[in-house]
Structure formats: C-alpha cells, structure tokens
Amino acid sequence: MIRRNPTLIPMTDMDVQDVRDMVAKQKAGLQSHQQLMVKMKRLADNPSMSKEDMEMFEQMKEALARSEKAKRLGLEPGQFPPSSHVW
C-alpha cells in the first residue's frame, strides 16, 4: 500500500469554533446521559416500585434507545428515525 501525504482542509476560526461547540455539546450530552442512567438504576433498585413506576422506567429506556439511534444516524436531538413498525 502506498502512503501519501494527508489532504489538508483549510479551516477558518469559525470552523474550529464550530467543532469545539460540537465537542462541548457531546460532552454535555454524555454527562446528562450518565446522570439519567444513575437515576434509572436507583429507580430500578427500589424494591417498592409500583406498576406505573416500572412502565415509566421502560418508557425511559425506550426514549434513551431512540435517542442513541438518532445520534448514530447523525440526527439532531429530538429528531427520531422513522419507526420500523407497520401500523
């Protein structure tokens, strides 16, 4: 395999700032995700959970899964991929 020099992409200060903003946004999202997981674990470990609590817990897990899928597909938060369900 022949190696070549990498192609340099000219970037302005605004481009660099955009990248920094995206990284900061991702870090904030990761931190909020970790806090949500701690809350979910605490809720799941509570032995006095009612049926409604368990349903809410499952809904939170589904919402988190949709959010992760949207991130993998490169969608903005709040945008979700089309459902695979046939109604």
Report which residue type is found at 86: V
Residue of higher predicted confidence among 87 and 4: 4
Residue 8 to residue 6: CA distance in whole angstroms: 6
Span 74-83, mean pLDDT? 62
How many CB atoms are closer than 10 A to CB 40?
Answer: 15
Q: Are 43 and 57 in contact (CB under 8 A)?
A: yes
Q: What is the mean pLDDT of the chain?
A: 80
pLDDT in tens, 18-57: 999 999 988 988 888 888 888 778 777 776 767 777 787 7
| pLDDT at 83 > cutoff 70 | no
